[in-house]
Each structure stands twice: as C-alpha cells, then as structure tokens.
C-alpha cells in the first residue's frame, strides 16, 4: 500500500501533487507538535493530525513496518506528512482508541463500517474488536446494514446473526445505501436462504401435525357454527377467529418467516377479533365468546413451531 510522504514545517503550506492547499488542523489533542509529535497524518478531507510514531507502531504492525523503512531526508525542524485515504472522522476515532482518551461514540452504522475497514487495513486488532462489538450492538436495530458490513469484513458469525434478524422483514422492504457494498453473489445467497425460510414457515400453517387440543381447538364439536371444522377438512374444530388468524399468519409468513411475525399486532389482531357472536341460532347458546387469551396461547404454539422449522433450514456461508 503506497503512502505519500513529504516533509513540511508548517501545516498551512502543505502541498499535494504540486498544488497549494490549506488543510485545517485537527481538534485537540492532535493539533500541536508541542506534545512531541513526530509524524503528521493527513486525511482525504484535508485535515492534519499530529501523532506519534511510537504509539502508532504499538497499535498497528502495519505502521510499525512502514516506519522501519528508509525515510526521505528532511531538514531540521520539519516533520514528515503521510497522506491516508480515510476521512478525518474515521481517523479521529482510530487515534482516540489508540491514545489514552475515551473513544468517540459511533453516530451511524456507516461510521462503524469506515472504522472497521480501516482497522482491518492497518491491522489494528484493538480497534477492530471495539468496532465489531459496536456492530453487534446494532444488529437488532439495523440488521441489513450490519449484515453488509459483516460481509465486507469477513465476519461470518455476525453475518449469520444479522441474517436471522432479517427474517422479521420482507425482502421487498430491503433498502439501504450499504447495499452498494454487497456483492451480487452475497445478496443472492441471502435472498435464496430467506426464500427457503419462507417456504418452511408457510408449510407450518398448512400442516396440522403440531396442533394440540386446547381451549380453542378440539377434535369434536356440538355446533358447526360456534366451532367450525378446519377449512383443510381435517378433524379439528375451532371458533371462526382461529381459522381467520391462521389465514393471516399464512399470508404474513410467506414474506416474513419469523416467530415474531405470528405474534405481531397485524397478524394476531385485536381482542375484538377473537370474540364471537352473542347468540347462536343453531345451538341456542347465548353470551359472548372471548377467545383472546386462548388465541394468544395458540399463537405461541405456532411461533415455537415456526422457529423450529426455520432453524432447520441450512444457512449458507456468506463470506466464502
């Protein structure tokens, strides 16, 4: 990896490619040579950081090897300048982690990506570990971006965690600027696996092997209106709200194959949706049938089975 190395005595007269430029100096504590700084790092957005070769060498074998190379001969009082491709925000985070200062807080997922890529580039194990921990912390909030960044940094474990979180979402809703950094091969793997999970989850609702008798599900019924037979013509009977719920769950799982899906408000419905009529003209039973609690219990049965079958779908290696 090539660096542009120059010697200058004043940051106001630093030049690049022979043209005059006026980079600004970084904020404290990287703004002064008085601390014994012996190397300047200049970022892609023209910000200069006064740093120390010793500290950079301890933090990065890459910098250690670079500083061992023969350096151009300067004049007294001049300090070498190294041009790097990272921007000032990324470099500041890296330096604050290497120096005895509290590191700044990540504000965006893209900042995590930039720092993580730089840590890999410069072989900074400590910075990489911190950035990866931060990436793990945003998986629940932003699984798609976390997946893309993990793919770029060859973190298969984080890729898989993020991919499983993405099962709560439809592939049709996947939108992120970070997708620009994902290969078509990796995106295809993700979509194919997601589709396989959809098929597995959809199949649970179509099957009846996981049914069990409970307050809302029976093998027999005294009234075909209060307790309707399974539309699939099996020998299971339930109040109409349960069959309606299974229909909503089936439709949702076709796109979002997650146990969370079947317990969501849109699928489970309101309490009113689990109430039946006050009077049945067929059996003469009067009174409101409230099956909301039983319906929630049934949704938990369904969620467990969805979770089980989806976990059995082989997850690919995204970083191979």
For residues 197 and 167, the answer to whether their CB atoms sit within 8 Å is yes
Handedness of CA 167, 212, 221, 268 (dihedral sign): negative
Rounded-to-integer distance, Cα 280 and Cα 242, Å? 18
CA distance 78 to 39: 10
In DSSP terms, 82 is beta-bridged to: 5, 41
**DSSP tag of 4:** E
Q: What pLDDT, in 10s, does the model give residues 68-102?
A: 887 666 555 678 899 999 999 999 999 999 988 88
- Residue 4 has a pLDDT of 46
Mean pLDDT check: name the lowest of 21-30, 41-50, 204-213: 21-30
Q: What is the DSSP letter of 44?
A: T
Dist. CA 267–CA 247, nearest whole Å: 9
pLDDT at res. 259: 94
Give the pair of three-digit tokens for residue 252.
């949702």
Is there a contact between 174 and 144 (Cβ–Cβ < 8 Å)?
yes
Task: Look at residue 177 in the predicted model and tell me its pLDDT.
Answer: 87
SS3 label, residue 1: coil
Distance CA 104, CA 177 (A): 23
Residue 217 has pLDDT above 70, yes or no: yes
According to DSSP H, which parts of the chain are helical?
A: 53-59, 61-68, 88-98, 109-121, 125-137, 143-152, 156-165, 184-206, 240-253, 265-268, 292-311
As a CATH number, domain 1-104 is 3.30.710
Where does residue 288 rank: exposed (0-12), middle (13-18), buried (19+ CB within 10 A)? exposed
Q: Is pLDDT at 62 greater than 50 in this prediction?
A: yes
**Which positions ≥6 away from 232 have C-beta within 8 Å?**
206, 208
Q: Give the HSE-up count for residue 245: Cα atoms under 13 Å, Cβ half-sphere.
A: 31
Q: What percentage of the chain exceeds 90 in pLDDT? A: 49
Return d(Cα 115, Cα 86) in angstroms, integer: 9
| Contact present, 42 and 82 (Cβ < 8 Å) | yes
Q: Residue 240: pLDDT above 60?
A: yes
Residue 1 is predicted with a pLDDT of: 44
Report the distance separating Cα 65 and Cα 44, nearest Å.
Answer: 22
What's the chain's Rg over C-alpha atoms?
30
Give the span between the Cα atoms of 254 and 256, in whole angstroms. 6
Cα-flanking dihedrals φ and ψ of residue 50, to 5°?
Answer: -80, 120
Q: For the chain, which residues make up each domain, given as ranges?
A: 1-104, 107-182, 196-311
**How does residue 107 score in pLDDT terms, banded at 50, 70 and 90?**
confident
* pLDDT grade for 224, boundaries at 50, 70 and 90: low
Name the token pair of 98: 């290497």
Listed residue (180, 150, 185, 153) closest to 165, CA to CA: 150
Tell me if residue 31 falls in helix, strand or coil. coil
Specify the pLDDT at position 288: 57
């Amino acid at each position: 990896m090539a660096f542009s190395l120059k010697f200058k005595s004043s940051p106001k007269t630093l030049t690049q490619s022979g043209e005059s430029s006026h980079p600004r100096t970084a904020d404290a504590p990287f703004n002064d040579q008085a601390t014994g700084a012996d190397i300047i790092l200049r970022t892609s957005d023209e910000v200069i950081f006064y740093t120390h070769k010793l500290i950079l060498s301890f933090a990065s074998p890459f910098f250690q090897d670079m500083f061992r190379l023969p350096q151009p001969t300067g004049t007294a009082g001049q300090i070498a300048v190294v041009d790097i491709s990272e921007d000032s925000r990324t470099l500041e985070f890296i330096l604050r982690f290497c120096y005895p200062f509290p590191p700044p807080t990540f504000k965006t997922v893209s900042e995590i990506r930039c720092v993580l890529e730089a840590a890999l580039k410069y072989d900074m194990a400590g910075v990489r570990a911190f950035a990866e921990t931060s990436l793990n912390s945003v998986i629940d909030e932003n699984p798609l971006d976390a997946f893309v960044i993990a793919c770029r940094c060859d973190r298969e474990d984080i890729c898989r965690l993020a991919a499983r979180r993405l099962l709560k979402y439809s592939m049709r809703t996947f939108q992120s600027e970070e997708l620009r950094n994902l290969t078509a091969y990796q995106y295809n793997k993700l979509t194919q696996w997601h589709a396989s999970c959809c098929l597995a989850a959809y199949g649970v609702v179509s099957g009846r092997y996981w049914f069990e008798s409970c307050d809302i599900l029976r093998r027999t019924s005294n009234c075909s209106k209060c307790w309707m037979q399974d539309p699939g013509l099996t020998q299971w009977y339930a109040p109409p709200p349960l069959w309606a719920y299974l229909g909503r769950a089936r439709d949702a799982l076709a796109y979002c194959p997650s146990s969370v899906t079947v317990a969501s408000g849109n699928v489970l419905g309101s309490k009113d949706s689990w109430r039946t009529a006050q009077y049945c003209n067929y059996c003469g039973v009067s009174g409101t049938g409230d099956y909301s609690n039983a319906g929630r219990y049934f949704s938990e049965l369904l969620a467990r089975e969805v979770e089980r079958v989806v976990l059995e779908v082989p997850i690919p290696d995204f970083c191979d």
